[in-house]
Amino acid sequence: MILNVLISTIDNRILGLKNIIKEKKDVIYTVSHQVTSELDEQTQNYKETLLGLSNVVYSQINSRGVAKNRNNALKYRVKDSICLLCDDDVIYFEKSFDTIVETFLKDESLEFLTFKIKTFQGDDYKNYRDYEFRQNIRTLTSIGIIDVAFKEEVIEKYSLSFDERFGPGAKYAIGEDFIFMTDACKKGANIVYKPIDIVQHDTLGTGATLRDDIIFGRGAMFARVFGLNAAVINMLFASKNYVKYKTKYTFYNYTSLLYKGMIDYFRSRSDV
């Protein structure tokens, strides 16, 4: 079975793929390269190298937005493969690709596999359970897209794509990964977490950043996923996470940003 690594990258950050792309049997790398500024000479040379590799599919797009980039990668996915979503700043363990494929081969009912991210220092990237379980919308709140692999067929089966209104570079600066996974979950996809170490990553994701646009975007994300129930979700989320933001935001200011994002999303839908 082919493993198709779907890599999203931008501008000169493509050089980070030197740590990812290897000559490996039954692995094809799909590179979606957003170019928003002039590339330096080193990047141009590496791009030419990628174009000459038989196990690399390269596509360049001239736009912004992580969701657009991931959707472009999906267009060039390998049919009947196992797809692994990837960024340009990660490193995989030596046996990771084999482990992913073997996991799908052992369980034909498995459609999405979620797994563990480790930091470069060897710690768990976040709090993980030490047992296998089937994901639901509540447990997916902590998902990050680089800890997801799936059968290629699910994209058409469940009519999945990344919502391009969400994520870095879009109107709402967060949420494209959570929305993608909850869309799959709502449509009945079998999404299973297994406590296996697959990938290393060393920086906190966008969602961990305390900025007005992130909080505003989170409110819109909750509206997209939970509908009118987002009004309650906003309050519960703000209460649960008060300790994390209290030095920068009051409870009122934080919840106000969440509700502004929620209202903006509902108004933008009515304008369509």
Q: Which of 158, 163, 147 is nearest to 220 (CA)?
A: 163
What pLDDT is attached to residue 227? 96
3-202 is a CATH 3.40.50.10470 domain: no
Please check whether residue 84 is in contact with residue 100, taking contact to mean a CB–CB distance below 8 angstroms. Answer: yes
Q: What residues in the chain have per-residue pLDDT under 70?
A: 203-208, 270-272
Q: Which of 111, 117, 184 is nearest to 144 (CA)?
A: 117
| Structure tokens that stand for 27 in this block | 């692995």
| Structure tokens that stand for 165 in this block | 């209104």
The phi and psi torsions of 182 (rounded to 5 degrees) equal -70, -30
What pLDDT is attached to residue 178? 96
What pLDDT is attached to residue 204? 63
pTM for the model stands at: 0.93
| Structure tokens that stand for 227 in this block | 């509908």
Q: Which of 266, 114, 132, 104 is nearest to 177 (CA)?
A: 114
Give the span between the Cα atoms of 39 and 120, in whole angstroms: 28
pLDDT in tens, 6-27: 999 999 999 999 999 998 889 9
Give the span between the Cα atoms of 122 and 239, in whole angstroms: 31
What pLDDT is attached to residue 272? 44
Pairing of the two strands 191-200 and 112-118: parallel
Please check whether residue 201 is in contact with residue 117, taking contact to mean a CB–CB distance below 8 angstroms. Answer: yes
What pLDDT is attached to residue 122? 87
The average confidence (pLDDT) of the chain is: 94
Pairing of the two strands 191-200 and 133-134: antiparallel
Q: Which of 210, 221, 231 is nearest to 265 (CA)?
A: 221
Domain ranges of the chain: 3-202, 210-271
| Structure tokens that stand for 140 in this block | 């997916």
